[in-house]
Amino acid sequence: MSTYFTDDHEWITVEGDVATIGITDFAQSQLGDIVFIELPDIGKTLEKGDEAAVVESVKAASEVFAPIDGDVLEVNSGLEEDPALVNSEAEGKAWFIKVKIADASQFEDLMDADAYKAHVAEQG
């Protein structure tokens, strides 16, 4: 399993032709207490850069963008019932969506863990 990160603080893990997507621990810490999450419909086709989900916290609402092209196979419906799970399990149980990967070459534009740590450090 490989894990990648985006400039917008999404993480993506890859297993075969399925990618699991969520937001990073850094992102949830910047948002504060998360109170609502809107997830896409299963079957929706996402293109890289499309809005994939909306996260609302006590501070603000923020979009989660699709880091790659793909069709939504599964959503983490538990987040709609308990959105605060993202605050404690952002890079684990609180994944947002699983998509069927349409173009694996898009991973070349994403960061590995070391590059993402450097990216976060630059943001202070």
Strand order across the 70-75 sheet: 2-5, 10-15, 18-23, 97-101, 70-75, 45-46
Count, residues in the chain: 124
Number of domains in the chain: 1
Asked, for residue 57, whether it belongs to a domain, the answer is yes
Q: How many Å apart are CA 35 and CA 88, to the nearest integer?
A: 13
- Domain encompassing residue 70: 2-102
Asked, for residue 25, whether it belongs to a domain, the answer is yes
**Taking CA 53 as the corner, what is the angle to CA 23 and CA 67, rounded to the nearest 5 degrees?**
60
Asked, for residue 112, whether it belongs to a domain, the answer is no
80-89 confidence digits (pLDDT tens): 899 999 999 9
Asked, for residue 115, whether it belongs to a domain, the answer is no
Asked, for residue 84, whether it belongs to a domain, the answer is yes
Q: How many Å apart are CA 6 and CA 44, to the nearest integer?
A: 21
- The CATH number that applies at residue 7 is 2.40.50.100
Asked, for residue 45, whether it belongs to a domain, the answer is yes
Where does the chain have alpha helices with state H? 25-31, 78-81, 85-89, 113-123
Tens of pLDDT, residue by residue, the chain (124 residues): 799 999 999 999 999 999 999 999 999 999 999 999 999 999 999 999 999 999 999 988 999 999 999 999 999 999 989 999 999 999 999 999 999 999 999 999 999 999 999 999 998 6
Q: pTM value? A: 0.94
Q: How many Å apart are CA 79 and CA 98, to the nearest integer?
A: 14
Residue 111 per-residue DSSP state: B
